[in-house]
Amino acid sequence: MSDVQEDLRPAARGAVSLDVVVVGAGLAGLYALYRLRKLGLKARAFEAGSGVGGTWFWNRYPGARCDVESLEYSYAFDDDLQQEWHWPERYGTQPEILRYINHVADRFDLRKDVQLDTRVTSAEFDPASGRWTLRTDRDDVISAPFCIMATGNLSTPRVPDFAGIHDFKGKWYHSGLWPHEGVDFTGLRVGVIGTGSSGVQMIPLIAQQASQLYVFQRTANFSLPARNGEMDPEKERTHKAEYPARRAAAWETPFAIAGHPAPTKSALDVPEAERNAQYEAKWAEGGSISFLYSYTDLLVNKEANDTASEFVRNKIRGIVKDQRTAELLAPKDHPIGTKRLCLDTNYYETYNRDNVTLVDVRSAPIERITPTGVRTGGVDYEVDAIVFATGFDAMTGALREIDIRTGNGPTLAEKWEYGPLTYLGLMVAGFPNMFIITGPGSPSVKTQMIAAIQQHMDWIADCLETMRAKGMKRIEPRAEAERDWVHHVNEVADSTLYPLANSWYLGSNIPGKPRVFMPYVGGFAGYAKRCAAVAENGYEGFVMGR
Ligand code: FAD
Ligand code: NAP
């Protein structure tokens, strides 16, 4: 490299000085920029991807779409935006959601403050200067008193460490790192490993192209029909007419989703025939919240949950013609709703196709990837392509990948060795002035995420404004407040059926990851009120300093 080129390296130009540095430019990072700019703060987002959109930029697999209706799963901060945007379908497809996010970036002129193709590799807080210094894989050095981690909960794709994977002669893909040009599986023998939400969405579409599809299933998941379809113009009109009220109503619910009256009865207080009629109506309506809202106790009482779980198992037995396959697909190891409930279009029906074979890798785990396929139970399944729908190092993965440290204390990864510790999912004791949007310990993935993102960022923006007004320069949680919050998060989870499932909520999809329940399942409404009360009480549980 010549001297001239050397001088052009960002590090050689000195640190970029900002008021707030944002990591990530998904829905959270973009909204952070919008709010920070409104406060008159100089902020910039650094994004590893070559485009904005986060989840919706990376996950381009066939069938990728949201599982919360698009009229709900969208930003609420600008009424003109929500009035003007037209969602063509009940559940937006990945390309449609990405188009929407790009529209938001343009409409609010956010792009000029986003640096793409840049991965933040380290973040260090200097207690003396009270500033964070972030470094990137492009040699940028960024200095700012405040740092906002908008790095996402499901942004660290994980391919299991299968022996032989690098010897595979065909092509392999991960759902969360899908090629932008798409993949044509026409006429190919394909293996899909994983039957979570991503697998369930892609399997019916890949089956239509592939000559043969093998689905390698370790755990059967419950899936409900999405009943997707074109947007009903009347529904869109009334929804838009009521938008502000609906958004406000969503904030009063556990999942931040309006339009589903809270249940009033226990599943065990109604006769079986009435109960099944109720489940039948919810099955016909489509959607997961509606189904789980059939009764008050489906997520807290195993006996109550059994009624709903068995209803869905019977549906699977009714749809899938081969009864051995049906039994394998019918989940029996966890209560419905305790792993992310999938929404599908023709998922179970797909197993009636002649070119689709379900392979049980629970009883016979995958032994290795061979040069020509997948070996399990001593059988070689020959394939031309493998799709890993194997999920993510969820909730903590993206943060742990950054070397986050402060003074001489432990790094964030060290502090979280036995599980994530946060206060309200927003901040970490010992890491001043670093905010997390929907961090572990917040309702995050148990809600309509865009509402959670807005709630978090609004709280952060109010906090920054308060600090400025009071001349405060530094904020971090008290260790006791953090400890009590983590205790509360666990206590609430333990009062539900969630811990009965081996799920990514508990980190159980990652070998060696501590088994700690990470999202807060006490409900969005209560959480948002608690955050507001904390602020009203002078940022109770936080220490502020000059
Ligand atoms: P992300 O969208 O994950 O964005 C984080 C960004 O940070 C990424 O672009 C990443 O590249 C970047 N980043 C991470 N680390 C670094 C680093 N070190 N340096 C630079 N950049 C970095 N939620 C719902 O509520 N409803 C749904 O229907 C729904 N469907 C989903 C479907 C899929 C396939 C997946 C994977 C998730 C889904 N989710 C859904 C959850 C979804 O992640 C959130 O709704 C939302 O998109 C999260 O936005 P975010 O900005 O917080 O995070
Ligand atoms: P996931 O739910 O974690 O599913 C991963 C799948 O891979 C599971 O079936 C898992 O089996 C399997 N698997 C992992 N390691 C394996 C191994 N070594 N051998 C065999 N099988 C293995 O991941 P995901 O489907 O990508 O979904 C993650 C989350 O993203 C969802 O829960 C949801 O929140 C979100 N998402 C939403 C949508 C949507 O509908 N809008 C779509 C996609 C994703 P086990 O269960 O046994 O671990």
Mind listing the pLDDT tens digit for each residue in 212-226?
A: 999 999 999 999 999
Q: Which atom of ligand 2 is nearest to the CA of 509?
A: 48
Which residue's CA is the nearest one to ligand 2's atom 37? 197
Pocket test for ligand 1, best of 155, 177, 403 (most atoms within 8 A of CB): 155
Distance from the CA of 152 to the center of ligand 1, in angstroms? 4
In this prediction, residue 10 carries a pLDDT of 52
- Tokens 């999942």, residue? 255
What is the C-alpha separation between 427 and 147, in angstroms, rounded?
11
Q: Which residues of 154-164 are buried (b: 16+ CB within 10 A; e: fewer)?
A: bbbbbbbebee
Q: Which ligand is nearest to the CA of 450?
A: 1
Q: How far is CA 409 from CA 25, 126, 259, 404, 406, in A?
A: 29, 11, 47, 10, 6
Ligand 1 close to Cβ of residue 73 (< 6 A): yes
The 8-class DSSP code of residue 270 comes to S
Tell me how far apart the alpha carbons of residues 438 and 149 are, in angstroms, rounded to a whole number. Answer: 9
Calculate helix-pair angle for 272-285, 302-319, nearest 10 degrees: 60
- Measure the CA–CA gap between 416 and 422, rounded to whole angstroms: 9
Mutate to test the pocket of ligand 1, among 197, 449, 455 (most ligand atoms within 8 A of CB): 449
For the Cβ of 452 lying below 6 angstroms from any atom of ligand 1, the answer is: no
C-alpha dist (Å) from residue 135 to 16, 293, 402: 10, 46, 10
Helix (H, G, I), strand (E, B) or coil at 494: helix
Query: Is residue 160 in contact with ligand 2, taking CB distance under 6 Å?
Result: yes
Say yes or no: CB of residue 343 within 6 Å of ligand 2.
Answer: yes
Q: Which tens digit of pLDDT belongs to each residue from 470-488?
A: 999 999 999 999 999 999 9
The DSSP bridge pattern shows strands 366-370 and 212-217 to be unpaired
What pLDDT is recorded for position 3? 37
C-alpha–C-alpha distance, residues 39 and 529, integer Å: 23
Tell me what pLDDT residue 408 has. 83
pLDDT digits (tens, 9 = 90+) for 130-179: 999 999 999 999 999 999 999 999 999 999 999 999 999 999 999 999 99
Inter-residue contact 432 to 6 (CB < 8 Å): no
- Name 143's Cβ contacts closer than 8 Å, sequence gap at least 6: 15, 16, 17, 18, 131, 132, 133, 134
In the beta sheet, which residues pair with residue 435?
148
Residue whose CA lies nearest to ligand 1 atom number 23:
449
| Residue 36 in contact with ligand 2 by CB distance below 6 A | no
Q: How far apart are the two ends of the chain, measured CA to CA in Å?
A: 44
- Rounded to whole angstroms, the Cα distance separating 254 from 289 reads 10
The three-state secondary structure class of 474 is strand
Helices (H), 286-374: 288-292, 302-319, 323-329, 347-350
Is residue 23 within 6 Å of ligand 1 at its C-beta?
yes
Q: What is the reported pLDDT for 15?
A: 85
Strand locations in 183-334 (E): 189-193, 212-217, 223-225
Which regions in the chain score pLDDT beneath 70? Answer: 1-13
Task: Extract the tokens encoding 179.
Answer: 């090629």
Ligand 1 touching residue 398 (CB < 6 A) = yes
Ligand 1 atom closest to 61 (CA) = 34
User: Residue whose CA is closest, atom 18 of ligand 1?
Assistant: 120
pLDDT tens digits, one per residue of 454-472: 999 999 999 999 999 999 9
Give the rounded percent of residues in the chain with a pLDDT score beyond 90.
Answer: 96
391 lines ligand 2 (CB under 6 A): yes
Which ligand approaches the C-alpha of residue 339 most closely?
A: 2
Please state, in angstroms and rounded to a whole number, the distance separating the CA atoms of residues 153 and 170: 30
